A and B are shown apart, each in its own frame.
Chain A
Amino acid sequence: DGGITQSPKYLFRKEGQNVTLSCEQNLNHDAMYWYRQDPGQGLRLIYYSQIVNDFQKGDIAEGYSVSREKKESFPLTVTSAQKNPTAFYLCASRNLDRQYTEAFFGQGTRLTVV
């Protein structure tokens, strides 16, 4: 089945550690996105990429890094510089052959700092 796969579903991190969240899509979509969801704050854009080997910062990129070495994959690293990383992280992808296409989302990764 086509879709977006995020792993792991739950992730626990000790303070000071970097962790990487995986996002893979088999929809052949050009663009991929990472959002952070906190209670009562909706979704905020962290990073996005429209093409392999290129990506742009979103609204809250500090403390995060990404790579786009393959069209299908867009991993997000939460670094130790992110002071409040506990949140729900959602990956999305979108086709760019038409304007304003909807984004498709994965099932999310819940990250908790312990």
Chain B
Amino acid sequence: AQKVTQAQTEISVVEKEDVTLDCVYETRDTTYYLFWYKQPPSGELVFLIRRNSFDEQNEISGRYSWNFQKSTSSFNFTITASQVVDSAVYFCALSSSYNTDKLIFGTGTRLQVFP
């Protein structure tokens, strides 16, 4: 079975704080991809990053960074120096080699950044 767990339902921080969104996944596949999406209040999901199961290098993009650890089946997302515009729902998703048509989503984490 494949599953994505985002245990943090809602996180509130004050602007300029760092915040980490957790994502834990389950899969028996050896080849899989992990994704993070942002859903702002407007509703559409915006793609942030894709990571394959063979690449455990951490990635940094501006204030965003991602920590992929196969040993703990986690793909955590950190926002450094958060801003009000970061307020959104963030989804982690999993796609495997056996069923590349399906994206399995977590339940999402709502991040609120207060000024």
Q: Is the CB of B35 within 8 A of A108?
A: no
* B50: contacting residue among A44, A100, A106, CB under 8 A: A100
* Least Cβ–Cβ distance between B9 and chain A, in angstroms: 7
Tell whether B82 is near chain A: CB-to-CB under 8 Å.
Answer: no
A-B contact pairs, 30 of them (CB 8 A): A35-B105, A41-B107, A42-B4, A42-B105, A42-B106, A42-B108, A43-B45, A43-B91, A43-B105, A45-B103, A48-B102, A58-B102, A88-B43, A90-B43, A90-B44, A90-B45, A92-B45, A99-B97, A100-B33, A100-B50, A100-B100, A102-B50, A103-B45, A103-B47, A103-B103, A104-B47, A105-B44, A105-B46, A108-B43, A110-B43
Known: A88-B43, A107-B43. A40 touches B107 (CB 8 A): yes
Interface size (B, Cβ < 8 Å)?
Answer: 24
Report the Cα distance A31→B96, complex, angstroms.
Answer: 17
Report the Cα distance A100→B4, complex, angstroms.
Answer: 17
Q: Is the CB of B44 within 8 A of A45?
A: no
Contact with A along B8-27 (1 / 0, CB 8 A): 01000000000000000000
Tell me the B residues contacting A by CB distance below 8 Å: 4, 9, 33, 35, 37, 42-47, 50, 52, 91, 95, 97, 100-103, 105-108
